[in-house]
Amino acid sequence: MKLAARVSQVTPSLTLAISAKAKEMRAEGIDVCSFSAGEPDFPTPSHICQAAKKALDEGKTKYGAVAGEPLLRQAIAKKLRVDNNLDFAPENIIVTNGGKYSLFNLMQVLIEEGDEVIIPAPYWLSYPEMVKIAGGKPVIVNTLGENNYKITPEQLKQAITPRSKLFVLNSPSNPTGTVYTPEEIRVLAQVILEHDLLVVSDEIYEKILYDGAEHLSIGAVNSDIFQRTITSNGFAKSYSMTGWRVGYAAASVEIIKAMSIIQGHSTSNVCTFAQYGAIAALKESQDCVKEMVAAFAQRREVIYDAINSIPGLSCPKPDGAFYVFVDISKTGKTSLEFCNSLLESQKVAAIPGIAFGADNCIRLSYATDMKTIETGMKRLSKFVNGISQQ
Ligand code: GLU
């Protein structure tokens, strides 16, 4: 059988593969410390679960509007106005199967054969693959650890060609945890406007910020950039709702209508009763978010100190999200070699940086409990000591 050529051009998702492997090993009784998927270890807050259960009991189990339940689109429009200073109406919003599908769908409606999409590296591993599946060309711009893995306005300018269509911005960033300051966002917006680009702003980690870091939605910089921005977000990370698969995009009515057409022929509506959980997440108290972020903040201190006390390893202190991006170049191993033998010998799961376009690094998610972090860091230290004695 001959599969379509597009499949062979795409790399499978390593974040999902390694976290599935870690879960499988644990199910077999192996004591694995997993720092793999970016998945909060907290249960979904109970008021959100209750709202979904109530929706089930009320029979909200049928097909719904393709672009999302009207009440959820209204709640998202309000959230974007209040939290992000983005003035959207419900018809500017599409509810999608996770934040991931909002991005996938967007590439389908925007990108044509040969269109270039500028992606700063390290990047979340699905961006380039989504561009390729849509027939576009990912243009990867390598950023530097010394610059906190931020693309500079000069780098962005240099990457622009007549085929450039879209710039992908992800702040706070997966995998580095870096957060662009409002001023940096304003300067990038200027470059985007000068070159008539579009920008997709993946804001899935917007609530997970530390030490007073500030999130500015690029679409809120001015009315011109607002017209050229697609904002993507979701409930998975802020509300610990990874398995619910509820995300969204906000953009011009033209883009949202086009995305609804693609969605109507692919996933249809997001699970109806899950959307009622999402409504409760937005409408009720935000204390659950604050509590989870406070826990991540403590874990961040512990993992950051532990990494930087292991000779041969180092990482910048992340300002947001729940990842540390650890430089392993002094160990002399590729990121895949490092992660494979770390899992095999110490039962510690981490994601090789090659998946994010940086083979000299590995990503550790600290959205896991403190005991796993403490045990995992001891094992990591033992592993790295073992390498240096080889
Ligand atoms: N986004 C999360 C991560 O990077 C979940 C897995 C995935 O969808 O890639 O680990």
The predicted-structure confidence for 22-74, as pLDDT tens digits, reads as follows 999 999 999 999 999 899 999 999 999 999 999 999 999 999 999 999 999 99
Residue 389 has pLDDT above 80, yes or no: no
Residue 316, domain extent: 5-44+287-388
Question: Residue 363: which H helix or E strand, with range?
Answer: strand 361-365
User: Residue 298 and residue 161: Cα distance in Å, rounded?
Assistant: 44
Beta bridge partners of 314: 327
Q: Are 149 and 139 in contact (CB under 8 A)?
A: no
Residue to mutate (ligand 1; options 36, 39, 240; most atoms within 8 A of CB): 39
| 38 CA from centroid of ligand 1 (Å) | 5
Q: Whose Cα sits closest to atom 2 in ligand 1?
A: 38
pLDDT given for residue 311 in this prediction: 95
- The pLDDT of 97-112, averaged and rounded, is 98
Residue to mutate (ligand 1; options 123, 130, 174; most atoms within 8 A of CB): 174
| 389 CA from centroid of ligand 1 (Å) | 34
Q: Whose Cα sits closest to atom 1 in ligand 1?
A: 38
93 plus 208 within the same structural domain: yes
Upper half-sphere CA count for residue 267 (Cβ side, 13 Å): 23
| 60 CA from centroid of ligand 1 (Å) | 29
pLDDT given for residue 12 in this prediction: 86
| CB burial readout 213-251, b (16+ within 10 A) else e | bebbbbbbbeeebbebbbbbbbbbbbbbbbebbbbbbbb
204 plus 234 within the same structural domain: yes
297 plus 350 within the same structural domain: yes
Q: Whose Cα sits closest to atom 4 in ligand 1?
A: 38
pLDDT classification of 170: cutoffs 50, 70, 90: very high
Reference 124, options 351, 381, 332, 366; nearest CA is 351
- Using CB distances shorter than 6 Å, the residues near ligand 1 are 13, 15-16, 37-38, 100, 124, 126, 174
174 plus 312 within the same structural domain: no
| 378 CA from centroid of ligand 1 (Å) | 25
- The pLDDT of 244-260, averaged and rounded, is 98
362 plus 315 within the same structural domain: yes
Lowest mean pLDDT across 11-15, 207-211, 274-278, 336-340:
11-15
From residue 149, give the alpha-carbon distance in Å to each of 55, 74, 330, 334, 380.
Answer: 43, 35, 19, 20, 24
245 plus 118 within the same structural domain: yes
Amino acid at 76: I
Pairing between β-strand 247-250 and β-strand 229-234 as defined by DSSP bridges: antiparallel
3-class DSSP state of 78:
helix
Which CATH number belongs to the domain containing residue 35 in this structure? 3.90.1150.10
Q: Whose Cα sits closest to atom 9 in ligand 1?
A: 15
| 99 CA from centroid of ligand 1 (Å) | 10
pLDDT given for residue 127 in this prediction: 98
Threshold 0.75, pTM exceeds: yes
24 plus 83 within the same structural domain: no
161 plus 32 within the same structural domain: no
Amino acid at 12: P
356 plus 297 within the same structural domain: yes
pLDDT classification of 348: cutoffs 50, 70, 90: very high
| 173 CA from centroid of ligand 1 (Å) | 12
What number does the ligand 1 atom closest to the CA of 204 have?
Answer: 1
Pairing between β-strand 348-349 and β-strand 351-352 as defined by DSSP bridges: unpaired
127 plus 244 within the same structural domain: yes
Nearest-5° angle of CA 38, CA 14, CA 383? 80
Query: Pick from 283, 303, 337: which residue ends a domain?
Result: 283
Written as six digits, the tokens of 49 are 């679960």
For 4-22, write each residue's pLDDT tens digit.
988 988 988 888 889 888 9
| 129 CA from centroid of ligand 1 (Å) | 14
How many Å separate Cα 161 from the centre of its chain?
Answer: 27
115 plus 209 within the same structural domain: yes
Percent of the chain with pLDDT over 90: 94
24 plus 74 within the same structural domain: no
From residue 94, give the alpha-carbon distance in Å to each of 167, 244, 256.
Answer: 20, 16, 6
Nearest-5° angle of CA 119, CA 120, CA 121? 115
User: Residue 97 and residue 233: Cα distance in Å, rounded?
Assistant: 11
Which CATH number belongs to the domain containing residue 77 in this structure? 3.40.640.10
Residue to mutate (ligand 1; options 16, 241, 245, 365; most atoms within 8 A of CB): 16
User: Residue 188 and residue 225: Cα distance in Å, rounded?
Assistant: 10
Q: Are 359 and 353 in contact (CB under 8 A)?
A: yes
Amino acid at 338: F
Query: Pick from 249, 283, 317: which residue ends a domain?
Result: 283
| 176 CA from centroid of ligand 1 (Å) | 13
pLDDT classification of 232: cutoffs 50, 70, 90: very high
Q: How many domains does the chain have?
A: 2
What number does the ligand 1 atom closest to the CA of 124 have?
Answer: 4
Tokens 């769908």 correspond to what residue? 105
Written as six digits, the tokens of 207 are 């609530």
Provide CB contacts within 8 A for 69, sequence distance 6+: 95, 269, 272, 275, 276, 279
How many CB atoms are located within 10 Å of the residue 336 CB? 15
Query: Pick from 258, 283, 308: which residue ends a domain?
Result: 283
What number does the ligand 1 atom closest to the CA of 100 have?
Answer: 8
Mean pLDDT score of the chain:
97
From residue 353, give the alpha-carbon distance in Å to each of 22, 168, 360, 364.
Answer: 17, 19, 7, 10
